[in-house]
Amino acid sequence: MMLGYPYGWITAAGLFFLLILTVILTSPVVIKGQLRRIGNDDDAEIKVKALYGIIRYRYKVPIIRLVGNTVQMKKQVSNESTGINTWKQFNDELDVDRVLSSIGKLKLILKMTRDLKGLVRQTLTKVRLVEWNWSTSVGTGDAMWTAMATGLVWSVQTSILGLLSQMVKINAEPNMNVQPMYQQPTFTTEWSCIAQIRFGYAILAGLQLLVRIKKVKGGVKAWQNILFKA
């Protein structure tokens, strides 16, 4: 009888650990995105919450301005984990050269990393879209052109959703609306969505990516040189 006690405690501890691990791996990583353009005001925001809110990340661009050929942005980044919060704010600019440079970096990474696109597609199949809202008002001041613009905007919105439905699982009824404004020239749009992926799938995708990066000539350092070089 006494001999069974240690094994009983070990079994109970093992089952408890297994339960905790299962809860962690099946917990959802919640990603919320939002984009708005009202008048000349633009803002965008992404929030990520994992492990039931223990880990939080927030990326916000409250100000987006077009100045000549450059897009000027004010960024705010908040990262919270186990009660420790880091927050920083900075200004940034985006021009044609920087966009082309980013595209070049992406092509190089895709070329040097084995089946990276396949890994991304495989991971996206585990993502569930649980909310999708997109409302737009458009007007040109002319009834005929407003009607044509309304149809064009509606076509763009439905095409984007259709393309997305081929990559992720849509578990909610999308809410979309395009409102024609015949009285005056205007364009406003508000978009938001909520997506989820299990924490275990996200960890697995990260580990698979790390393995593929290490197989690249130069490994992690090669990736860093590409991503962070001027």
pLDDT value of residue 215: 81
Whether 205 is covered by a domain: the verdict is yes
Segments forming the whole domain that contains residue 77: 27-94
**Residue 214 shares a structural domain with residue 118:** yes
pLDDT value of residue 6: 67
The residues of the chain scoring below 50 in pLDDT are 1-3
Q: Where is the domain boundary, 44, 78, 94?
A: 94
**Residue 141 shares a structural domain with residue 127:** yes
Q: Where are the beta strands (DSSP E) in the chain?
A: 28-38, 41-50, 55-67, 70-81, 84-94, 128-139, 169-170, 175-180, 186-198
Q: Where is the domain boundary, 45, 64, 94?
A: 94
Whether 2 is covered by a domain: the verdict is no
Whether 14 is covered by a domain: the verdict is no
pTM over 0.75? The answer is yes
Whether 7 is covered by a domain: the verdict is no
pLDDT value of residue 22: 86
Whether 47 is covered by a domain: the verdict is yes
Whether 158 is covered by a domain: the verdict is yes
| Structural domains counted in the chain | 2
**Residue 211 shares a structural domain with residue 120:** yes
Residue pair 201/156 in contact (Cβ under 8 Å)? The answer is no
* 129 phi and psi angles, rounded to 5 deg: -90, 110
**Residue 88 shares a structural domain with residue 109:** no
**Residue 89 shares a structural domain with residue 100:** no
pLDDT of 130-181, one tens digit each?
999 999 999 988 889 999 999 999 999 999 999 999 999 999 899 999 999 9
